[in-house]
Chains A and B, each alone.
Chain A
Amino acid sequence: MKKNHSILFCPVAFFCLSIVFSCSPVKYIKPLDKNQHAATISFGGPLIKYGSATIPIPFLVGNYGYGIDSSLTGFASFNITSALFGNFQVELGATKQLLNQKKYIPAVSITPIANIIYRNKEAFKLYPQLAVNAFWEYGKQKNMVYIGLDNWFELAQKRAYEVKQSNHVIFMPTIGHSFTGKKWNFIIEGKIIAPNLSNEKLVVDYETPLKKHGALGVYLGYTRKF
């Protein structure tokens, strides 16, 4: 019966999730070189059933990053999809490399982000995010494989009508690969969004290997370094 009615509000989840979970891959797994600049455009999102098809959410995010030093990169992202809805959404963050790779022992980086969505004085949200990633570079080109955990934090205690906001952390196990060129990177990333949360009894059918939990997100990103 869900299919009979849910088509109507698929787009709700379609866009609110695109806005909420559009954090990847527009962040840096490995920091840029010192004083290096980079611009990234990213496309993709959670997979949902839309009618009889399974489609990724076509969010679009632009990003600019700067290598503050060789282990610290600051960046800002602008969510273009969100902007089309009249919302001003930016992500401000930094990636700090904590450990260097030692053969098979991966390098580790951490990325705190402030995700800000503003529409008007009454409609403003700040979502802190924290991503921890382990990555391995390999080959001449220094292509990179990474795994990580992205975390979104909901600070609000109440939802609409004073209903208690029960989940305050949405975590997303992530796996990705970066193809590296001299002046560019191409990233493909997959993640399971909120595998701990039931996706039943919602207005949308999420596609996920876990069936009744979470959503599967697929993302592509192209970075130009200069």
Chain B
Amino acid sequence: MKKIIFLTLTVLSFTSCLRLDDNLFNPASIKITEYKLDNYTGDLDFRLDVTYQIPDSLIHIFQLSSQAADESKATNIYAIYIGNIDSISSDSVIMYCHGNRDHMDFYWERAKLLANTKTKNRFGVLMIDYRGFGLSEGKPTEKGLYADVDAALKWLKIKGLTNDRLIMYGFSLGSAPATKLSVGDYSMKPAKLLLEAPFASAEVMVQDASGLAMPGIFFTDLQINNAEEIKKVQQPFFWIHGEADDFLNIDTHGAIVYSHYNGIYKEANRIPNAGHGSIPETFGFQNYLNAVGDFITQH
């Protein structure tokens, strides 16, 4: 009997497959039926005043078809483009990769803010809901993140955007597809990369949480590793992180990513007293926009 119990437990160890991978994603538990944008009444990190308002004629909600190379069928995802679609062939566009929670309504204020970089609607902004987020179909996966952002890049390319006018921006979880698609073999390659509160890797999260140097693979098979991917980035790189970030520690996450960058230009913006979601507000919206805008236009 003892032998059977021991054998069972040993087999259990090597055959069980509980993993934390799905916990990387935190879409809203209550499904939405439409995007409310300015009329959204859920939690927000901050809310902009009317001076940042975008005319309705420049807000476009539409669907994209996303399909990873090894997938047999496509997944419909939702996107919002802020700007004039007809002038994408001559405009510069910020591809905004949002964080892990809820959906595009939650990140609408952030996308809207970026649409005010330098002057209102000087830059187009494209944001998507990854599969499983918001109205997008499917279930979130690491592979899906990359496929979904690539679907957005494909759309921009079809609309006439060229690599030299593509700016990649990733916030928190969005730092993973933003970094990955800056170096990999995808539909487009951005001219610049901006990361807000990026994470280094799932392993650092595990080690931060436990206080010990334990391998991340004990809990997760996630391959996301911005600290390694950033080494391949050659484009100018802008990093902004709150010094009071109590979710992704600036020193164990963002600073590692920043220090691993070996490209042609890098810029660090450590924002005193800013938390994970409050950088634009704590920094000051105009200061934030000036920093982002100066980086995009000058480097």
Q: Which A residues are within 8 Å of any B CB, using their own CB?
A: 1-2, 4-13, 15-17, 19-20, 62, 78, 80, 82-89, 117, 119-120, 122-123, 125, 127, 152, 154, 156, 158-161, 163, 165, 167, 170, 194, 197, 200-204
Contacts of A9 in B (CB 8 A): 23-24, 205, 209, 247
Contacts of A20 in B (CB 8 A): 210, 212, 214
Give Cα A87 to B173, complex, Å: 27
Q: When the two chains form their complex, are residues B9 and A5 in contact, meaning their CB atoms are under 8 A apart?
A: no
Give Cα A32 to B150, complex, Å: 63
Q: Which of these binds chain A: B56-64, B72-80, B216-224?
A: B216-224
Q: Per-position contact with A for B209-250: 1 when CB-CB < 8 Å, else 0?
A: 111111111111000000100000000000000001111110
B142 contacts the other chain (CB 8 A):
no
Which of B12, B26, B215 is the one whose CB lies under 8 Å from A5? B26
Q: When the two chains form their complex, are residues A125 and B215 in contact, meaning their CB atoms are under 8 A apart?
A: yes
Closest A residue to B213 by beta carbon equals A156
Closest B residue to A214 by beta carbon equals B211
Closest B residue to A6 by beta carbon equals B247
Which of B99, B214, B246, B252 is the one whose CB lies under 8 Å from A16? B214
Which of B203, B213, B217, B248 is the one whose CB lies under 8 Å from A203? B248
B116 contacts the other chain (CB 8 A):
no
Can you give 23 A-B contacts (C-beta < 8 A)? A1-B247, A2-B247, A5-B26, A5-B100, A5-B172, A7-B26, A8-B26, A16-B210, A16-B219, A20-B212, A82-B13, A83-B12, A83-B13, A84-B12, A85-B19, A86-B19, A88-B14, A119-B217, A122-B215, A160-B200, A160-B203, A160-B207, A161-B227
Q: When the two chains form their complex, are residues A8 and B101 in contact, meaning their CB atoms are under 8 A apart?
A: yes
Q: When the two chains form their complex, are residues A170 and B204 in contact, meaning their CB atoms are under 8 A apart?
A: no
Contacts of A8 in B (CB 8 A): 23-26, 100-101, 173
Q: When the two chains form their complex, are residues B245 and A87 in contact, meaning their CB atoms are under 8 A apart?
A: no
Q: When the two chains form their complex, are residues A119 and B20 in contact, meaning their CB atoms are under 8 A apart?
A: no
B121 contacts the other chain (CB 8 A):
no
B43 contacts the other chain (CB 8 A):
yes
Q: When the two chains form their complex, are residues B101 and A161 in contact, meaning their CB atoms are under 8 A apart?
A: no
Q: Which B residues are within 8 Å of any A CB, using their own CB?
A: 9-10, 12-20, 23-26, 43, 45, 99-101, 172-173, 200-220, 227, 244-249, 252, 256, 260, 275-278
Closest A residue to B2 by beta carbon equals A64
Give Cα A85 to B218, complex, Å: 7
Q: When the two chains form their complex, are residues B277 and A1 in contact, meaning their CB atoms are under 8 A apart?
A: yes
Ranked 8 nearest A-B pairs via Cβ: A13-B209, A156-B213, A8-B26, A1-B277, A88-B13, A123-B215, A83-B13, A1-B275
Closest A residue to B218 by beta carbon equals A87
Q: When the two chains form their complex, are residues B210 and A17 in contact, meaning their CB atoms are under 8 A apart?
A: yes
Q: When the two chains form their complex, are residues B201 and A11 in contact, meaning their CB atoms are under 8 A apart?
A: no
Contacts of A13 in B (CB 8 A): 209-210
Task: Report the minimum CB–CB distance from A144 to chain B (whole Å).
Answer: 28
Given the known interface contacts A13-B209, A20-B210, the answer about A5 and B13 at a Cβ–Cβ threshold of 8 Å is no
Q: When the two chains form their complex, are residues B204 and A85 in contact, meaning their CB atoms are under 8 A apart?
A: no
Q: When the two chains form their complex, are residues A12 and B215 in contact, meaning their CB atoms are under 8 A apart?
A: no
Give Cα A84 to B173, complex, Å: 27
Give Cα A160 to B203, complex, Å: 7
Closest B residue to A193 by beta carbon equals B211
| Additional A-B contacts beyond A62-B9, A88-B10 (4; CB < 8 A) | A20-B212, A156-B212, A167-B211, A200-B246
Given the known interface contacts A11-B20, A78-B9, the answer about A86 and B14 at a Cβ–Cβ threshold of 8 Å is yes
Give Cα A15 to B244, complex, Å: 25
Contacts of A11 in B (CB 8 A): 20, 23
Closest B residue to A162 by beta carbon equals B256
Q: When the two chains form their complex, are residues A160 and B101 in contact, meaning their CB atoms are under 8 A apart?
A: no
Q: When the two chains form their complex, are residues A194 and B211 in contact, meaning their CB atoms are under 8 A apart?
A: yes
Q: When the two chains form their complex, are residues B246 and A201 in contact, meaning their CB atoms are under 8 A apart?
A: yes
Closest A residue to B212 by beta carbon equals A154
Which of B212, B247, B278 is the one whose CB lies under 8 Å from A170? B212
Given the known interface contacts A2-B276, A203-B247, A203-B248, the answer about A125 and B227 at a Cβ–Cβ threshold of 8 Å is no
Give Cα A86 to B204, complex, Å: 20
Give Cα A162 to B217, complex, Å: 17
Q: When the two chains form their complex, are residues A125 and B214 in contact, meaning their CB atoms are under 8 A apart?
A: yes
Task: Report the minimum CB–CB distance from A64 to chain B (whole Å).
Answer: 8
Contacts of A123 in B (CB 8 A): 215, 217-218
Which of B16, B101, B245, B278 is the one whose CB lies under 8 Å from A84? B16
Q: When the two chains form their complex, are residues B277 and A204 in contact, meaning their CB atoms are under 8 A apart?
A: no
Given the known interface contacts A5-B247, A202-B246, the answer about A86 and B276 at a Cβ–Cβ threshold of 8 Å is no
